[in-house]
Amino acid sequence: MQTNTFLLILLAAIISLGLMLFQYYFKAKRTKLNALLGVIRFLTIFAGILLLINPKFSKKEFILEKPNLVLLVDNSKSVPVLLGGDEAQSASGQLVQNNRLSNSFKLNSYTFGQRLEVNDSIDFTAETSNIANALQTVNEIYGTTKTAVALITDGNQTLGTDYEFKSLSDNITVFPIVVGDTTAYEDINLGEINLNKYAFLKNKFPIEVNLSYYGDQNISTLLKISSKGRVLFRKTVALGKSSNNATINTLLEATDVGINTLKVELSPLKNEKNTSNNSKLVAIEVIDEKTNVTLVSSINHPDLGMLKKSIEANEQRKVTLTSPNINNQLLDATDIFILYQPNTSFASLYEILEKRGSNRFTITGTQTDWEFLNNIQSSFSKEVFDQTEEILPQLNKGFDLFDLGGFGMENYPPLDSHLGDVLVTLPHEVLITQEIKGVSLDDPLMFLINKKGAQEVVLLGENSWKWRLQAYRNEQSFESFDSFMGKILFFLSEDQQKERLTLTYSTVYQNSSEANIRASYFDELYNFDTNATLFCTIRKADNGFVREIPMLLQNNYYEVDLSDLPAGNYSFTVMSKKDKRSKSGSFLILDYDLEKQFLSANYQKLERLAARTGGQVFYPDNASGMVDFLMKDNRFTPVEKSKENVVSLIDFRILLAFMALSLAAEWFIRKYNGLL
């Protein structure tokens, strides 16, 4: 308690005593009760003055703030493959059980594969390793305080961005402990194999094979591509120290409808240690049908090229670009028409499409003749003002005509269009709404019309090429946007009787970690049913394997995880328990384990990571050296900090209650003795 506070309390006592004496000994008539009443009055006045003074006292606490030591252990399959499993277990145990570290650091242990997990056990079962994600997660949690990261890994990453260049806080220092064999061996391996997902029967499809050599000799190897035991391609490839990479391109013929598995293999070297990376299985689906799309435009625009590339990303579709004067042969061969920014030159084409009831995708923009378009068709209209506007897209989360999967429009740029009110006169579903200058509008930007005899999709803006580019920026791939366009065309190419059960899955999975099946189930009113009970029955024909798995609700779809399935061909059936509604399909899981493709630990990359963050590389036989290094490093010295707590000496509620009781007691005594 401070001196001035003590003096104030003493002064309060003197004032209270003076007032009491004045009232009961100088002013009032003296009685036997004066002493008792005086004491009560003194306490009342004293409590009141204390309430005004509100005395406080402070207490200092000294705490020792330890730096963080985060232990990250690589739990992927590649660690034991490179004989680093026991080393990782031993190094982890030495750090966790070291008393010097536990006394000087706040120790937190994690394992990582695809993502960071609390360190319960180290079993080296993770299918992938994402070192960059583990470091980023640690950076987010511990980046504001001094943190040493003990990274126990072989340095081989199979997923995510390059961890060597990961941006970390200045407070994060990485100390890698390299486990596994670091010896360099002579080796040839297959790298990326590029081919399309689909091919058409009796057509040739391209395949690109990348291979590399690690060693100092001049060698030759035989590259073979086979299917169902039949060799489709073979070539001898020469490699050496100066020419250690090669890319082989060839064309193969699609002869069998369905999923075709291709085996690509290299003949091994004489003393090659790891031959698991000498062969790969890839798959391609051969189909015997194609959707013909005719893109009609009277102007040149970047959207036209984007539409052609996006649609033809799926080889089931072919796009023909033409002017509005279409010949009869092309009209007869077309399944879907895309009408880009219609004007008066489209008049005869519109008449033909109305007579035939053809499905179409209409795209408007700043060069659209809206007076013509409003008159030539009656599905929708727009009251156009002589002003263009940038319109941001907002995806309608309530859209349920078909499953959009994981497609989103975050950070998508605006489209250009004429300002004006939109009127849709037929039953329709809004897929994308408008946002102008930060204001969300009810007007649609993209909508789908269901009408008898034909379906139509309308996009009210140009420069959608920017959307595809933004999709690539977001995900480093055009796949999500191209899949979105594919679903739009699928809507236009199929009978639009709504299906209450729809499935989303891939026919080919590179490995089991990617395998999953999604389903959407709708009630009688075609609203998404969150109370449905769906089961997926998986079958493997070659061994009689059958498994029934319940599908779990995930936001706006149901999902089943198949990551524990071994490689092979599978068929499946998804069924609703309520009404026995079902759908079936098939898929192939390829036998490819990326974690088994490495020859040695990548200690060079870990050395560069340590140097960039101010750390140092250690090896399992010198884990104690890391302990000594950390104990001597002044950056991780514990810091003593003081904490001052200031609290009131007396709770004001207690004082108020005491004053009320003392005043009541004084009044009662005076009343009882007739002094009032």
Residue 68 binned pLDDT confidence (cut-offs 50, 70, 90): very high
CA distance 583 to 503: 8
The answer on pLDDT for 1 being more than 60 is no
Counting every residue written for the chain, the total comes to 676
The answer on pLDDT for 341 being more than 90 is yes
Residue 447: is it exposed, middle or buried by C-beta count within 10 angstroms (0-12/13-18/19+)? buried
Tell me if 572 sits within 8 A of 583, measured CB to CB.
Answer: no
Tell me if 609 sits within 8 A of 164, measured CB to CB.
Answer: yes
Q: What is the mean pLDDT of residues 472-478?
A: 89
CA distance 269 to 267: 7
The answer on pLDDT for 288 being more than 80 is no
pLDDT tens-digit readout, 235-254: 999 988 888 889 999 999 88
Q: According to the model, what pLDDT value does residue 508 have?
A: 78
Q: How is residue 521 written in tokens?
A: 């189930």
CA distance 256 to 542: 20
pTM, rounded to two decimals: 0.51
Residue 496 binned pLDDT confidence (cut-offs 50, 70, 90): very low
The answer on pLDDT for 67 being more than 80 is yes
The answer on pLDDT for 522 being more than 60 is yes
Owner of token pair 């005899």: 453
Specify the higher pLDDT residue, 111 or 387.
111
Q: How is residue 135 written in tokens?
A: 């470091």
Q: What is the mean pLDDT of residues 16-35?
A: 73
Q: What is the rounded end-to-end Cα distance, in angstroms, of the chain?
A: 41
CA dihedral of residues 121, 125, 126, 131 (deg, nearest 10): 60
Mean model confidence pLDDT for the chain: 85
The answer on pLDDT for 395 being more than 60 is yes
Specify the higher pLDDT residue, 315 or 610.
610
Specify the higher pLDDT residue, 277 or 422.
422
Specify the higher pLDDT residue, 555 or 525.
555
Percent of the residues in the chain that have a pLDDT greater than 90, as a whole number = 33
Q: According to the model, what pLDDT value does residue 29 have?
A: 65
Pairing outcome for strands 317-322 and 279-287: unpaired
Strand, coil or helix: 198: strand
The neighbour count for residue 641, using CB atoms within 10 Å, is 10
The answer on pLDDT for 301 being more than 70 is yes
From edge to edge, which strands make up the β-sheet containing 415-424?
Answer: 317-322, 291-297, 336-340, 360-364, 454-460, 439-451, 428-436, 380-395, 415-424
Q: Which of 103, 140, 50 is nearest to 652 (CA)?
A: 50
The neighbour count for residue 337, using CB atoms within 10 Å, is 22
Where do the domains of the chain lie, and which CATH numbers do they carry?
A: 3-61+645-672 (no CATH), 67-183+600-637 (3.40.50.410), 187-287 (2.60.40.10), 291-493 (3.40.50.880), 501-592 (2.60.40.10)
Q: Which of 241, 187, 247 is nearest to 223 (CA)?
A: 247
The answer on pLDDT for 676 being more than 60 is no
Q: What is the mean pLDDT of residues 23-41?
A: 73
The answer on pLDDT for 459 being more than 80 is yes
Q: What is the mean pLDDT of residues 461-477?
A: 91
Q: How is residue 473 written in tokens?
A: 């920026």
CA distance 341 to 296: 9
Tell me if 246 sits within 8 A of 237, measured CB to CB.
Answer: yes
Owner of token pair 């707590």: 645
DSSP state of 522: B
Contacts of 509 (CB under 8 A, 6+ apart): 515, 587, 588, 589, 590
Q: How is residue 510 written in tokens?
A: 């590179």
Owner of token pair 């079958």: 539
The neighbour count for residue 379, using CB atoms within 10 Å, is 16
Q: Which of 210-219, 403-412, 661-670 has the highest mean pLDDT?
A: 210-219
pLDDT tens-digit readout, 201-240: 778 889 999 998 888 888 889 999 999 889 999 999 998 8
Strand, coil or helix: 128: coil
The answer on pLDDT for 450 being more than 50 is yes
